[in-house]
Amino acid sequence: MKTNLVKFQWLLILVMGLFMASCSENSDTTDEATADAYAEETVFRTQESTNLGRFGCYELVFPVTISFSDGTTADVDSYETFKAAVKAWKINNPRVRTRPSIEFPYDIINAEGEMITVDDLAEQKELRIACGKDFFGNHGPKGHNDRPKLCFRPTFPFSVSLPDGTIITLTSKEDKKTLHDAVKAYIAAHPGERVRPALVFPVTVLMEDGTSVIVNSKEELKALKDSCK
């Protein structure tokens, strides 16, 4: 009899837990703490997807466009504005569970100063695997808001060079399309050749603490990235 009572109590607790979870998922409101945690995890999962940021192999070239499941978008110029945009959206869309993501194509820079355009999920996965770092596999999103997000990011204007010596200067987000078109044209003329435009040094980068650093060579950039642990 006592055993049956204990089983009933556990069943009641389970049912109540499922009911509360269901109510939470279908709530018409999202409080600040829940929205903040959702946004924090979104930034974490975004960095994890390509091994981005201070603990990964690549740095994201801001600004980027965030796409939401309701068809709206937001341009963000840092991980802080990324999180703020996601948090505000979640508060206004409490029932939606599909997580926002960066629109393709977007650009990243590796420690060698190569600018890589990420065109789709397959390339994103390949880059994550090629990185080999396991920070995101060994840590979860909880507390990610208190961790440094990036090592550095280039500031406009900056220039990159193609293998044939063509120099393209980027002064704003809109110039990324010019670069993408130039890369496609180069690939069409040189099929099978890998194209990763290289930063033209010196280049000014912005650090996590807001200070600007002038990097004079590929070796200095690699040392800078290696110093971010």
In percent, the amount of the chain with pLDDT more than 90 equals 77
Q: Is the pLDDT of residue 104 over 60?
A: yes
Q: How confident is the model at residue 14 (pLDDT cuts 50, 70, 90)?
A: very low
Pairing of the two strands 101-102 and 212-215: unpaired
Q: Is the pLDDT of residue 6 over 60?
A: no
Residue 4 lies in a domain: no
Average pLDDT, stretch 59-78? 96
What does pLDDT average to over the chain? 89
Residue 103 lies in a domain: yes
Reading the block at residue 56, the tokens are 């990964």
Residue 102 lies in a domain: yes
> Residue 86's CB: how many other CB atoms inside 10 A?
25
Give the residue among 100, 36, 95 at the shortest CA–CA distance from 64. Answer: 100
Residue 186 lies in a domain: yes
Residue 194 lies in a domain: yes
More confident residue, 19 or 112: 112
> How many structural domains compose the chain?
1
Lowest mean pLDDT among 13-17, 36-40, 90-94, 213-217: 13-17
Structural domain that includes position 197? 29-227
Residue 50 lies in a domain: yes
What is the DSSP secondary-structure string of 112-150? TSBEEEE-SHHHHHHHHHHH---HHHH--STTGGGS---
pLDDT at 20: 44
Q: Is the pLDDT of residue 9 over 90?
A: no
- What are the φ/ψ torsions at residue 221 (nearest 5 degrees)? -65, -45
Pairing of the two strands 73-76 and 212-215: unpaired
Residue 5 lies in a domain: no
Residue 216 lies in a domain: yes
Average pLDDT, stretch 124-144? 91
Rounded Cα distance between 131 and 218, Å, is: 18
